Amino acid sequence: MQRNSHITCDSQYYSVPHEHAGRLLRVRLTSSKVTVFDGQTIVCEHARLQGRKGQYVTEAAHLPAQYQNVDGLWSREWFLQRARAFGPATVEVIGQVIDRRALEAQGFLDCRNILDSLGKNNKLRLEAACQQILSTGGHPTYTTIKRIMAAIDSDAKKPARVRPAASTRKRPAFEAAAGEAATPDESPSGAYIRGADYYRQLGERRTF
């Protein structure tokens, strides 16, 4: 049993009286019911959850008194205030993580892990991952955000596309600037270029 007064069974979470925290419990599953045993004694029973993984079934009486009405350091506003340091998408995601729990206190551990574990030294990537979840209508969980952040980090580390180097070949004579004499070495293969004598003789013929 986890320290948050829940057991994990078939990827779902079921509350158990907090007196059993830290103990090894046995679970019997049927198509409609989850029965929790401590030895041969039945501790509690819940209707079995179906569908989306990561859902919670919580009986308030199973939680310690201090978590049935949580005030003080760990509160919704406390986590939202911390999330503001990352960006508006992170604030929205943290709010969704808390809102999907039957009791707000159930989401506080996930919020702490998202902000402290994933967000430590990675504020920009956490905000980008949260923005991606909101844009695609995804379901925000610690695991989902961690996977998206890993993909973002992988993309950032891909080598840049290699660009071909600029050509250092000399321009051929026909590409030379106007008025710039071409040298024999710059003449394109097979091209006939008239020499200076031709143009001098042509000028003399036109002289009156």
* 117-165 confidence digits (pLDDT tens): 999 888 999 999 999 999 998 889 999 999 999 998 777 666 656 566 5
User: Where along the chain do its domains lie?
Assistant: 1-67, 70-156
Contacts of 74 (CB under 8 A, 6+ apart): 105, 108, 112
pLDDT of residue 36: 96
Report the chain's terminal Cα–Cα distance, integer Å. 115
Spans in the chain with pLDDT lower than 50: 70-72, 176-187, 207-208
Indicate the pairing of strand 12-15 with strand 56-57.
parallel
pLDDT of residue 64: 74
pLDDT of residue 114: 94
Contacts of 148 (CB under 8 A, 6+ apart): 129, 132, 133
pTM: 0.47
pLDDT of residue 54: 77
Instruction: At 13, list the tokens.
Output: 């979470």
CA distances from 85 to 12, 35, 90 (A): 31, 43, 9
pLDDT of residue 37: 96
